[in-house]
Amino acid sequence: MTAVSTAISQGWAWKERDASIASVLDEVGSSWTDAVTFPSEIHVELLKAGRIPDPFKGSNEHEVQWIGEREWLYHTKFGVPEAERSWKSAELVFEGLDTLCDVYLNGKKVLHADNMFRTWSVSLSRDDLRDQDNLLLLHFTSAKKLAKELEAQYGRVRAGSTNLGDPISSGAELEPFRAVHREDEVVHGDEGVLAARTVGRSLGLALDSV
* Cis status of the peptide bond prior to 39, with omega within 30 of 0: yes
Tens of pLDDT, residues 55-103: 989 999 899 999 999 999 999 999 999 888 888 889 999 987 878 999 9
Residue 202 to residue 210: CA distance in whole angstroms: 24
Tens of pLDDT, residues 90-105: 999 998 787 899 999 9
Tell me the whole-structure pTM to 2 decimals.
0.79
Residues spanned by the domain of 51: 4-209
On the 0-12 / 13-18 / 19+ scale of CB atoms within 10 A, 75 is buried
Residues of the chain by 3-state class (helix, strand, coil), percent to 5: 20, 30, 50
In the predicted model, what is the mean pLDDT of the chain? Answer: 80
Count up the domains in the chain and report the number. Answer: 1
Positive or negative: CA dihedral 108, 182, 164, 70: negative
Q: What is the CATH number of the domain that holds 79?
A: 2.60.120.260
Query: Can you give the length of the chain in residues?
Result: 210
